[in-house]
Structure 1
Amino acid sequence: MSEDADDFIDCMLAPAGPTEPKAEPRRQRRMRAIVSNHHVDYAHNDVANAAWFFKERLTKAFQDKERSDGIFVDMMAMATMTAFALEGYVNFVGMTLIERGHEGDNAKGSWLRFEKKSPRDKIKVIRRLTGATIDWNKRPYRTVRDLMGLRNMLAHPKAHRPEQREFEAVGTEDELKKMLRDYRPEYERQLTWDFLTMAYEDVEVIWNELLGFAKIEAHETWSGGMQGLEFLEHVDED
């Protein structure tokens, strides 16, 4: 065991007592070592956690009436993170299948072609590779189109104008003013709590189904790995 480790253990086991002046830290010797980092980080876990965070935050806001400020901003964040989670899930499953069936440059080429596709088209590739059956007319897969459409409206913002810029209407002054107050751009009309909760649930169902189609175990989707130092020799300094 190294001297540094011995000092650390002695410090941890030392009985508590009066505070003494801190000693100058002992100078560590320089060494040559092999640094190993075999950690793998899967970003889909982080964005999925973000989607869950905003879902829980909004649930408290709507059900427990904890607050009323910033709700629409949180809804935009939840929609975006839910869509990103779907993209991350699909990319992970596609990457895993490609790596299983290809090696080296063939895998890289297949991945580049896969990566350029839309999430919907990526799911179609996964379906073809696994022989799975998917019904795009029913939940959860029916939700993909609407979710990604909303995601694209938020990710690539542009001007939204009313379909009818001018029209003739009959009503009281208050009724006519209400027509103007009730106007909502397309992304705002779609961004409802009911849609967000449905989209979140459907994305998680799709994730679990894709893992089943590809025969991927849950633990294989977790970030993790090994890190370490292998001491070679001390390096003398001038």
Structure 2
Amino acid sequence: MDKKIRVKIQQKRQIFIHNDLANAAFHFKERVDQKQKADDRHTIGLDMMGCIITLSFTNEARMNFLGYKLIDGWNEWQPVKAKVKAVAKALGISADFGSRPYSTIMEVKEFRDTFAHGKPIVVESTHEEITTQAELDRHNILQPEWMRFMTYEFVQKAHGDLEQIWTEMMGKANLSVFETMTQGGRSIQFIDYVND
């Protein structure tokens, strides 16, 4: 029978999910790149969808990480645009949402919100038109608005722009990559034996 012992246990964990999300987004981007190169259209749309949604999550998690590191009383529940502005201000960066790369943040967020708040879309209209069959075929009325993001070019732009923002912010924050990593440790110190 094992003797009971009294120990002092100290532990610390830092779980920084932004790295896991960034890895997932990169995984999807690599799949899209491979399929594009091989002209393989089988499920490439699902990989694009996964990449864009995960990029939006990655960006928000990165802003939460930087906010936690840089701003006392950080509020992770504020809207993503407010988060980016607050972090940028703390770093002395101008976040211009009217142009790239910052405008891309709002595009990936719009795409993410479409799926996070998924709801039916019903559009009804009646009108007459003089057209050709080819022009009618191009209307593609069953294509939802969010499909405009589902292109190889947008995936490349979104990934590149968000990585550019992260690299700039990390440089301004003077944080090493090691400081952004999930890590932890534990120590156990023996105190004495306990009598039953």
Alignment of 1:87 onto 2:87? no
Question: Aligned to 2:184, what secondary structure does the other structure show?
Answer: coil
Gaps in structure 1 of 5+ consecutive residues: 1-26, 100-109
1:91 maps to a residue whose letter is N
Match of 2:171 in 1: 212
Aligned-residue CA RMSD (Å): 2.3
Contact 1:90–1:122 (Cα < 8 Å) also in 2: yes
Contact 2:84–2:95 (Cα < 8 Å) also in 1: no
Alignment of 1:227 onto 2:157? no
Alignment of 1:168 onto 2:141? no
Residue deviations 1:145-180 (CA, integer Å, cap 9, x gap)? 111111111111112244x633323345x4366246
What's the % identity of the aligned pairs?
A: 29
Match of 2:5 in 1: 31
4+ residue runs over 6 A deviation: none
Gaps in structure 2 of 5+ consecutive residues: none
Question: Aligned to 1:38, what secondary structure does the other structure show?
Answer: strand
Residue deviations 1:191-220 (CA, integer Å, cap 9, x gap)? 222111111111111111112233322221
Closer/same/farther in 2, CA of residues 32 and 125 from structure 1, 3 Å limit: same
2:128 maps to a residue whose letter is E
Provide the rounded CA distance (Å) in 1 between the counterparts of 2:66 and 2:48.
Answer: 27
Contact 1:32–1:231 (Cα < 8 Å) also in 2: yes
Contact 1:170–1:176 (Cα < 8 Å) also in 2: no
Candidates 175, 187, 201, aligned match of 2:146: 187
Closer/same/farther in 2, CA of residues 181 and 74 from structure 1, 3 Å limit: same
1:196 maps to a residue whose letter is V
TM-score normalised by the chain length of structure 1: 0.72
Question: Aligned to 1:226, what secondary structure does the other structure show?
Answer: strand
Question: Aligned to 2:113, what secondary structure does the other structure show?
Answer: helix
Candidates 88, 107, 113, aligned match of 1:146: 107
Question: Aligned to 1:36, what secondary structure does the other structure show?
Answer: strand
Number of positions where the alignment pairs a residue of Structure 1 with one of Structure 2: 196
The structure whose residues are more often strand, as a share, is: 2
The structure with more radius of gyration? 1
Alignment of 1:133 onto 2:107? no
Contact 1:160–1:186 (Cα < 8 Å) also in 2: no
> Cα offset for 1:144?
1.3
Match of 1:118 in 2: 79
